[in-house]
Amino acid sequence: MPLWIAASLFAALAQAMRFAMQKSLAVGGLSPTGATFARFAYSAPLVATGVAVYLMISGTPPPSLSGAFWMFAIMGGAAQIPATVFVVMLFQTRHFAVGVTFAKIEVILTVLMGFILLGDMVTWDALSAIVLGVVGVVLLSVAPGEALSLRGIWSRSAALGLAAGLLFSISAVSYRGASLEIDAVPLLRSSMTLAVVTTMQMTALVAWLVWRDRGEIARVARAWPRASLMGLASLAGSSGWFLAFTLQNAAYVKAVGQVETIFVLLLGAMVFGERVTTRELWGMVLLTGSILGLLVAV
């Protein structure tokens, strides 16, 4: 199995486990911004320390970071934060299914952003597999008993979902662009990019909370027994994503990473006893077929 595929699958599983932790542990009392900050606060220092230890033990000099690296890193990190906020806001809207559906076209938008920002191309066979996967994920995203109707297409949910999908696609392609600017082995390239991005995001959120809600920082610190576990799961997932982005076209990585939706459903069934519907089974079939088709095409 190619390393980028293994990294994508690992990242998707780690992210699904993080969602399960959030559901079971429920870090209570934290705002959406505080919960987002907790992710970076309990992972960014570990990434930076890991990179520093690797450089020291291996005797490798720190790689130089070009202006293009900083441009891509800042753009990716800046896009990811509001994208995450928009997804959280989706849960407060009436037409949630519509918004999620728009967010799920992130993979298609990644194809477009990859071409615009990096000149990355995908084959027609791969694009067909990606579209099939998007259809499968849409089936998996609509809540049981909730129908996706055209009436809600121009709703606030649609705008939030589309904005989230667009920003996530920009962040994914930007992370790949930043990593490719580093002259080092793939693991160091991805780890260095992750360390820089998460440190910048953590710093930005600290500044925001100091300005808007200083008490939230203390609440995040008090929540460390549970928040740190989610931070570790987030670190594992991000490490996988960044390594995969370093090795392969971001659109292909995102397409394979959609298997996370299946992992979430399986964890829900095994851990929380949630029932998998017939529609969700069809969504799994389409998504699995999409991933297998993509592997053949690539």
What digits encode the pLDDT tens for the residues 217-259?
998 888 887 778 878 888 899 999 999 999 999 999 988 988 8
Residues lower than pLDDT 50 in the chain: 25-27, 150, 152
Count of domains observed in the chain: 1
CA distance 134 to 99: 14
CA 57 to chain CA centroid, nearest Å: 30
CA 259 to chain CA centroid, nearest Å: 12
Residue 184: strand, helix, or coil: coil
Give the pTM: 0.84
Domain that holds residue 107: 3-297
What digits encode the pLDDT tens for the residues 106-134?
888 899 999 999 999 988 888 888 888 88
| pLDDT attached to residue 202 | 94
Which pairs from 62-66 meet CB under 8 Å and 24+ separation? 63/182, 63/183, 63/184, 63/188, 63/189, 63/192, 64/183, 65/181, 65/182, 65/192, 65/196, 66/181
